[in-house]
Amino acid sequence: MKNQLENLKNQIILDINNANNLENLEVVYNNHFSKKGSLSQMMGNLRNLSPEERPAFGKLVNDTKEVVLNHFNLKKEELETAHLNQKLESEKINIHLPGDNLKSGSIHPLNLIIEDISNYFVKNGYEVVTGPEIELDLYNFEMMNLPVGHPAREMQDSFYFDPNVLLRTHTSPVQARTMLAKEGKPLKIICPGKTYRRDEDDQTHSHQFMQIEGLVVGEGISFANLKHTLQDMLNYLFKGEAEMRLRPSYFPFTEPSIEVDVLFTKKDGTKQYIEILGAGMVHPNVLKMGGYDPERFTGFAFGIGVERLAMLRYQIEDIRNFYTNDIRFLKQFTEEF
Ligand code: PHE
């Protein structure tokens, strides 16, 4: 009978182990632990034993029952936890609203050029400064050696608010502002920004466009420094030995003045020089008005046409494409859309 009890114990443990859900476990309970279950029946076998043997066997059955019941309870707990977790998982509610699918933009081709040129100059120790687009006549013209009535003012037809205030016609007023701010100390700056001139808009003209001004003031700054700077920047921009041509020119704020062309290969393979910037040695009057002694300090300045460069680099034929914000046009210049 001891063997029988041992076998029953193993069977019950096996049944408990095999139950993989609460329903199966309940069947195990009914089969073994209920009033008519196998364990009660085992107790019933006591009848067949002699009165002396009964207490010892009875105790053995009870001990066995305790062991398997313990095992049963552990299994029950385990299955209940699993059941609860499953329920929680299946009843999970997503409380989030679906998000708006915003398209991320891309960098405008004009800003790509500005970033590229700024990187070059920052790497070479220049500071990037900005100035206002609504400017005083004082900075835009007078301090740039274009006093009231100067005939060269007519080269830059302007939008005036009143006789003293206008939309800046170039980024050069930032030269004057920076010189005053630096109070006679050497400086190296670039200034990218928007500029405005009265113009009939067409394929190559716009009443609003962008420039990058450059100004270096110090002791012993020479024309050779200017030439080297421009050549080096163009090599960087055009990724190689750029063919640069300097032509004498005239700006009231530089002396001597030059215009700078780059030899550019067109789509059909022919080559052509295209003007991309104006430059020169800072005029002594400009230095003086900016608070620098022209006997001690010299400097060079340049003004780069950003649209020009962008049109060359990206083979864009109509300047108006830059301003109409047609996404089909803009997305050509970046992978990020
Ligand atoms: N300000 C000039 C223009 O807009 C360009 C320039 C800048 C020329 C600095 C010389 C020096 O045409």
| Residue 175 contacts residue 301 (beta carbons within 8 Å) | yes
Domain spans in the chain, listed from the N-terminal domain onward: 2-91, 109-336
Give me the sheet containing 271-282, strands edge to edge.
127-128, 187-196, 208-218, 298-305, 271-282, 254-265, 244-251
Q: Return the residue whose CA atom lies nearest to atom 2 of ligand 1.
A: 303
Q: Which CATH number fits domain 109-336: 2.40.50.140, 3.30.930.10, 3.30.230.70, 3.30.565.10?
A: 3.30.930.10
| pLDDT one-digit tens code per residue, 221-264 | 999 999 999 999 999 998 888 999 999 999 999 999 999 999 98
Q: Which residues contact 249 (CB under 8 A, 6 or more apart)?
A: 257, 258, 259, 278, 280
Report which of 252, 260, 263, 287 is spatially closest to residue 276, judged by C-alpha positions: 260
Residue type at position 48: N
Atom of ligand 1 nearest to the CA of 169: 4
pLDDT of residue 335: 52
170 lines ligand 1 (CB under 6 A): yes
| Residue 58 contacts residue 46 (beta carbons within 8 Å) | yes
pLDDT of residue 262: 93
Q: What is the pLDDT along the chain (337 residues), one digit of tens a residue?
A: 788 889 999 999 999 999 999 999 999 999 999 999 998 888 888 888 888 888 888 899 899 999 999 999 999 999 999 999 999 988 888 888 888 888 777 889 999 999 999 999 999 999 999 999 999 999 999 999 999 989 888 877 789 999 999 999 999 999 999 999 999 999 999 999 999 999 889 998 999 999 999 999 999 999 999 999 999 999 999 888 899 999 999 999 999 999 999 998 887 889 999 999 999 999 999 999 999 999 999 999 999 999 999 998 888 989 999 999 888 888 888 754 3
DSSP H stretches of helix in the chain: 2-18, 22-32, 38-44, 54-90, 109-123, 137-140, 173-182, 223-237, 284-289, 306-314, 327-330
Q: Return the residue whose CA atom lies nearest to atom 10 of ligand 1.
A: 279
131: left (phi over 0), alpha (psi -120 to 50) or beta: beta
Q: In terms of C-beta density within 10 A (0-12 exposed, 13-18 middle, 19 or more buried), how is residue 40 classed?
A: middle
pLDDT of residue 331: 84
3-state secondary structure 292-315: CCCCCCEEEEEEEEHHHHHHHHHC
Report which of 323, 318, 115 is spatially closest to residue 209, judged by C-alpha positions: 323
User: What 3-state class would DSSP assign to 87?
Assistant: helix
Q: How many other CB atoms are there within 10 angstroms of residue 62's CB atom?
A: 12
141 lines ligand 1 (CB under 6 A): no
CA of residue 304 to ligand 1 center, whole Å: 8
User: What 3-state class would DSSP assign to 95?
Assistant: coil
Report the residue among 172, 206, 208, 212 best suited for mutation to probe ligand 1: largest number of ligand atoms under 8 A from its CB: 172
Whole-angstrom Cα distance, residue 38 to residue 158? 107
280 lines ligand 1 (CB under 6 A): yes
CA of residue 107 to ligand 1 center, whole Å: 26
